[in-house]
Structure 1
Amino acid sequence: MTPTTRTHLVANCIQAWGHARPLVTFCAHLVKMQTDLCVTLLSTGILFDRLTKEAARNFGDGDESPQRLRIVCMGAATDLIGDGLIEPMWKALIAGESLECQQTGTTYDPLPAPTVVILDFFAIKNTRIVRSLSGSSVKIYSWWSGLAYSILYQFGDAHVGGLGNIRVRAEEESRKSGRPYHEVATEMFYTKYGGVVRLPGLPPMYDYDNYPQDFEFGGDTLIEFLPQVNEHIAMTDGALLTSFESWEKDSIQVARNWLAETGRPVYTTGPLLPPASKTSVANEKIQSPEGAEIEAFLGEMLSRSGEHSLLYISFGSIFFPVKTPEKLWAFLEVVVELNIPFIMSAASPFCVVPDEVRVKVKSYGKGLISTWTPQQMILDHPVTGWYLSHGGQNGVTEAIASCVPLIMWPFTADQPMNAVLVTDVHKVGYELLEVRSGSGLQKIFRTGYTPVGTIDAVKAEARDVLGKAFGKDGEDKRARMRVLQQALLSEWEEDGTSKRDVSAFLESF
């Protein structure tokens, strides 16, 4: 690090790519904006290599800023979340000692003790460790990686439309009833009774509309920390939102008002995307084992089928229709039937592609299935016309930035509300309803429709939606997406909200 370093910021998030990718991009933004700032990004082993490559996408040749962004591995996580590893690293940091990367063995020189730390809003243990060791001498900012609407609903106080402090209520109910805490907490967080969720700027939804897919992962891991997120937010000195005002202005204002009640700021930071430079594209491509093949495929499909002809399919790095995979294969049958070129990402650990599907795709000749796709390269390519997405915040942001309208297949978390923003608020896409399962096969509040959920219904809806998407109605939605794209890109211009907010954040320490 340079001897001019005067300010030291530390960042850490859980080992989920949707949380980590925007954070490393944000850290790159910070060191480029403030020349005397050093950032230490603490990573788990599983994400270390990918974060290092992703960081490189944010810097050009001859840029000295990367020297002030160091990515240090804390070690291997023992669970899905990777929370609680920070203690030895934090002790060394506040003592002004050197750090040793547990992945590479590299020793990093001592730096001034950090005055600011950014911690994932799911990192309950790390937040408590930092607060117990440093008290109020360091400012802790909560990293809200996702849609503000969803975070407010699941983890906000009751008066802002949230579920409040579930841990306290679950412990009290457990004492009264004698039922196990995990059972009570799971019921409070996940069980839905058909109540109506009303949030400013969104049409009303039944509570179960936020769980349109029967999907479970993580066992007891999630219920260990989800009921405590509300308390994590209360322990912090402010929040950094990966979202942006042109997407969900009303909810961001609710978040600002909520934290302002206790004198804490909320800063928007989105969109957080690497620049579309040759260096950035090259560094993204090498993260995929099929990167070169995908690039060649895109070019071939452009030559054979023309601009906006390809459908990109991705459910992110975790989600997949595990309970009803046959619905995805039925959807793909219709894609082939309609002669639509496609690329499908199969990154989820839950994704198992049957051999017969792979054989059909290969014989089709206009489809490609990859274990990890260079998503921005695909979305930015002129052949890409539509993006079938689960609706995670990263993917939606990238789609808007690339002006690619969306077909939504949401599961849980921020995805169902993002689907409503796509379809009902901004009108830049469609939502698939017949692919729903579990509680999702109930009456939908905003439409009054009850999905049938059969394979025949899935195929009929696929023909209808794809026919519209690649027709006149789809072009109208693409035109609206262009307007939204310009609004998104302006967030980081000199007078943009995110640029102003991040500048104010840097000036606050």
Structure 2
Amino acid sequence: MAPSCNHNQNRVQNGHQLPQEVVVVVVPFPAHGHLNQLLHFSRLISSYNIPVHYVTTTTHSRQVNFRVHGFKSTNNIHFHEFSTPVSNSPPINPNSITKYPSHLQLASQISTNLRKPVANILDSLSHKNRRIIIIYDSLMGSVVQDYLDIPNAEAYTFHSVSAFTIFMYVWENMGRPFAIDTDMIKDLPSNEGCFSPEFEKFVKSEHEYSKFSSGKIYNTSRVFEGPFLDYLSKEQINKGKKQWALGPFNPVSISGSIQPRHKSLTWLDKQGPKSVIFVSFGTTTSFSDEQIKEIAIGLEQSQQKFIWVLRDADKENVFSKDFTKKIELPKGFEERVKENGLVVRDWAPQLEILAHTSTGGFLSHCGWNSCMESISMGVPLVAWPMHSDQPRNTVLITKILKVGSVIKDWARRDELVKSSKIEKVVRILMASEEGEEIRKRAEELSFGVKKAVGEGGVTKDEFDSFIAHITRGI
């Protein structure tokens, strides 16, 4: 989204710099899927010449900047980095039946240590600016609560999940206060097994703070989630607050790769159009050795080209030098598939891989970041949900939008997925008429999203209206 106006330029009078008119403070939850979305959002806001201050821990600031892809510079964003007490997170257990990443539970404890530093930043900025806008992750409400004591501050809650998922969560919790299309809930998976009890309690306590915010922001598009945004805007749910659908936050096209190019992109350059399936399960998934073996055999027997990002879930500190056991593959696997496949064991530039013309499918956990990036780039998904919002994102992607298929139903989440199932689903997506139909729908949806963020598009207009709102009267 290109800036359409020149809000908030620095003013100079009698040789002295006057205060900024408006400044935005962004406070993400310290987990990659949240950090990444709000960094992309910060870039979009700053393109309107509005200063953005991004506040997180030292480790997580380093992490999100190291992994940023899709744009080349964050120089116009001010990073505030704070150290937090060192804590011993439990080890990753790839053999756990429940895939919720309990080893990252301490992220919620880390965030509580940010309350005082954030309050100090808000207080300082409030004296230098006519208005201070706080955009905070819905899991960081307690951290920013002191803005209520600042007369020229207002806050907006950012929801990091789909409008469909957040609507179903709220609607069910409210006792289903109005009727909706029954087709939407016919195959709706339960929330059982999605979260740990501790995290559920944490979410509820943080969401209490949202009642004080001035509005809600979603990383989604009216192009494909219009009905659910309309439901969320109903008085029973929204209580008269403003809401904006401003996504995708990530760039919808890649104008030039970050140098040096990652080896996966160089490998993709040599492949045919739409011929490669990208296999990646995000930053919070670890598999058992047995499941990894089945994935490997399934990919090999499918005889389809693939890039497989094979790495453990993120530790609390992704830069920790703790020993990490190399994930073992079946003997001779990489040698046998070297003509067809590439195994990547480090961080991979997912957005750039999805944007590449050789990528024709995405075997994914269906985290919302991955869904939005895949939709943006017109790449259909094979959904394998693990936890959190992923089972319901899967319903949105496969049953409602019909731009993907399911490899593992949530009701059978405790079962091993056999290589024969993986082979079958990969072949259907990559080498069948059914797969081609899914791909066409994904490409059409991508076209609609790209049109929406362009000049005169519904998303561009909504973003302009958000900027006009936070700069009103100035």
* TM-score range for the pair, normalised by the shorter chain length: 0.7 to 0.9
Given residue 215 of structure 2, which amino acid in structure 1 is its aligned partner?
A: G
**1:367 CA displacement:** 2.9
Partner of 1:388: 363
2:15 is the counterpart of 1:7:
no
- Does the C-alpha gap of structure 1 residues 377 and 138 become closer, same or farther in structure 2, counting only changes over 3 Å? same
Q: CA contact under 8 A between 1:95 and 1:113: conserved in structure 2? A: no
- Does the C-alpha gap of structure 1 residues 432 and 260 become closer, same or farther in structure 2, counting only changes over 3 Å? closer
Partner of 2:34: 19
Q: CA contact under 8 A between 1:200 and 1:250: conserved in structure 2? A: no
Residue from 47, 59, 62 that aligns with 1:49: 62
Q: Distance in 2 between matches of 1:206 and 1:473?
A: 21
Q: Distance in 2 between matches of 1:454 and 1:261?
A: 41
* Secondary structure class of the residue paired with 2:459: helix
Q: Distance in 2 between matches of 1:111 and 1:359?
A: 63
- Does the C-alpha gap of structure 1 residues 325 and 242 become closer, same or farther in structure 2, counting only changes over 3 Å? farther
Residue from 335, 339, 343 that aligns with 1:368: 343
Q: CA deviation digits over 1:167-208, x for unaligned, max 9?
A: xxxxxxxxxxxxxxxxxxxxxxxxxxxxxx986485325665
* Secondary structure class of the residue paired with 1:468: helix
Residue from 294, 319, 327 that aligns with 2:264: 294
2:428 is the counterpart of 1:464:
no
**1:362 CA displacement:** 4.1
Partner of 1:433: 408
Q: Distance in 2 between matches of 1:156 and 1:74?
A: 37
2:292 is the counterpart of 1:319:
no
Q: CA contact under 8 A between 1:38 and 1:69: conserved in structure 2? A: yes
Q: Distance in 1 between matches of 2:229 and 2:176?
A: 13
Partner of 1:331: 295
Given residue 267 of structure 2, which amino acid in structure 1 is its aligned partner?
A: F
Q: Distance in 1 between matches of 2:242 and 2:129?
A: 25
Cα RMSD after superposing both structures: 3.3
- Does the C-alpha gap of structure 1 residues 245 and 413 become closer, same or farther in structure 2, counting only changes over 3 Å? farther
Under a length normalisation based on structure 2, what TM-score does the superposition of the two structures give? 0.79
More helix by proportion, 1 or 2? 1
Q: Distance in 2 between matches of 1:90 and 1:463?
A: 49
For these two proteins, the number of residue pairs brought into alignment is: 423
Under a length normalisation based on structure 1, what TM-score does the superposition of the two structures give? 0.74
Partner of 1:310: 276
Partner of 1:271: 248
Q: How does 1:74-473 map to 2 (within 5 A)?
A: 74-76=82-84, 79-81=106-108, 82-96=110-124, 111-112=128-129, 114-131=131-148, 133-134=149-150, 137-155=152-170, 158-159=173-174, 161=176, 200=181, 203-205=184-186, 208-211=189-192, 220=198, 222-258=199-235, 262-274=239-251, 276-279=253-256, 281-282=257-258, 292-300=262-270, 302=271, 306-320=272-286, 322=287, 326-345=290-309, 346=311, 348-349=313-314, 354-357=327-330, 359-365=332-338, 366-433=341-408, 440-441=411-412, 453=415, 458-469=418-429, 470-473=431-434
2:474 is the counterpart of 1:474:
no
Residue from 442, 445, 455 that aligns with 1:494: 455
Q: CA contact under 8 A between 1:311 and 1:342: conserved in structure 2? A: yes
Q: Distance in 2 between matches of 1:230 and 1:202?
A: 28
Deviates more, 1:367-376 or 1:401-410: 367-376
- Does the C-alpha gap of structure 1 residues 154 and 127 become closer, same or farther in structure 2, counting only changes over 3 Å? farther
Q: Distance in 1 between matches of 2:182 and 2:446?
A: 20
Given residue 263 of structure 2, which amino acid in structure 1 is its aligned partner?
A: E
Q: Distance in 1 between matches of 2:202 and 2:146?
A: 15
- Does the C-alpha gap of structure 1 residues 97 and 252 become closer, same or farther in structure 2, counting only changes over 3 Å? closer
